Amino acid sequence: MSPLRRGAATVPVPTAEALAAAGTELEAAVATGNGQLAEEPAERAAAVAAKLRERTTLHGGRTVVALAGATGSGKSSLFNALVGSEVATVGARRPTTSDPTGAVWGDEPVGELFDWLGVRARHHVDAPCDVPQEGTAGDLCGLVLLDLPDFDSREMSHRAEAERILELVDLFVWVTDPQKYADARLHDDYVAALSTHDAVMMVVLNQIDHLDEAGVSACVADLRRLMARDGLPDATVIATSVRSGQGVDELRQRLANAVASRSVARARLAADVRAAAAGLRPCVAEAEPALATSGQIELVDALVRAAGVPVVVGAVDRDYRMEAGSRTGWPFTRWAGNLRPRPLRRLRLDGSRAEISQADVRSVLGRSSLPPPTPAARAAVTLATRQLAQRAGESLPLPWAEAVTDAATPAGPDLADTLDQAVVGTSLRSRNPLWWKAVNWLQILLAVAAFAGLGWTLVLTVLGWLQFPDVHAPLWGPFPIPFLLLVTGLVAGLLVALAARLLARVGGRRRARVMEKRLRESISDVADEHILAPVTAVLGRHQQTREHLDRAAAV
């Protein structure tokens, strides 16, 4: 940074690269904060960034200085005195400056700069460069001096033109007089509003030839007090008189110093960037709130209920027990269980798709047959999202908090469809337990034993009825072996089926818990994608906007 003197202090001026980077940061802040930044400060910041880009692309190192003042302050006379010729028209009773007049020192082309400023009246001061002008320790080559219309003119077009030029110049020279130096319009509308630009501002108390020495001292002291009240305690105040020439050389020297520094333009633009960033800073908070884990859990819980996960989990439990019964139940009654509809198949969640009929629209769409969420479930989702948005946006300015709420608002039927697809897309199948196969083989053996005992008994009965000699069943203890095979096969099969049913209840609950965890993970993904991610995106934009503004303000 190159230094620029402000009163008795030295102010660092950013390099061209740092200034361009600050302008980029300011533009980025406006872009990322679009919609949540106050309209007027955002437009002001965008205009400052555009002006910075345009001003820095103009060739040459010219310093643009504007003489601005109220009606009758003598700024046109002061302009002529600095130029050394009668360039600006001086009016005795009414303002005559309707268009800005420009004077330029040096031979460097300035047509492009004047076109950008919108100044048509141009005068070239024939003064050699590298030769100090009379009364100064340096030359004014590189100076572009503008005489602006009166900012308190009754003609609104004059005032608008003065304000337009003031937005573009590098250095302000406020020209006032002993009668109007305390004018509220000067101090409230201009000086105080530009208090951040004190490094590129001077105040001239003109026409001091109307006062004695004590009056001049008193007016200068009071003007310094007013400037300090406006936020410029180190303001440069120069007392001048065009008639006597007092103070004109000092003003010329100040201008020569400003031109020699070749950094006034960057100082003005840096002040503009800082002021624009400061104007936008209240639109963002000091930090971003973190999304509470409890709020996320409550949201997922509400979405789980709205998606019908409890119904699915119950169906998984029943489906497991029914399938276990079809594989481990008593072989003679298994067929009866197969007549009942499977719970997951009724919900179209068994992973299979039968042939699609034209009437079965839900199957065509790949939808489940889960009942729609109840009003209570929908209300729970709305409440959970509202609470999450409230916690996420409670420390943010209102526009950002509203953006967070909008991002967290469920998308109506779209969210319901997404939840249903999440349930449909979750695998509800798992590897069958090994004990099913073992019990099934045991049941088959017991059934074979029962059939063998029954068949053996029937054969012996028929042979006895036919009066075959010596037809006796072998005994095991007091009981015939065929009878034992029959009874053991039937009774043991029933007992094994009963034990398998008890095991199936335990296994069904276990599988239900596993599937509930899977479904919850799928619903959590929906919450992340459709609710939490949009909220996080808004908070991320807020963080980017805040960081862009802080970097721009640090120029």
Q: Phi and psi at residue 451, in whole multiples of 5°?
A: -65, -40
Fold of 62-261: Rossmann fold (3.40.50)
Rounded average pLDDT over 520-525: 90
pLDDT at residue 76 is higher than 80: yes
pLDDT in tens, 456-512: 888 878 777 776 666 677 878 788 888 888 888 889 889 998 998 899 899 889 988
The pLDDT assigned to 6 comes to 52
Q: Is the pTM of this model over 0.85?
A: no
Q: Report the C-alpha gap between 358 and 189 in whole angstroms.
A: 75
Q: Report the C-alpha gap between 324 and 337 in whole angstroms.
A: 10
One-letter-per-residue 3-state SS of 219-273: HHHHHHHHHHHCCCCCCEEEECCCCCCCCHHHHHHHHHHHHHHCCHHHHHHHHHH
The pLDDT assigned to 353 comes to 46
Task: Give the start-to-end residue ranges of the domains of the chain.
Answer: 1-59+269-283, 62-261, 293-353+361-431+504-553
Is the Cβ–Cβ distance between 306 and 377 less than 8 Å?
A: yes
The pLDDT assigned to 280 comes to 95
The pLDDT assigned to 355 comes to 39
Rg of the chain (C-alpha set): 46
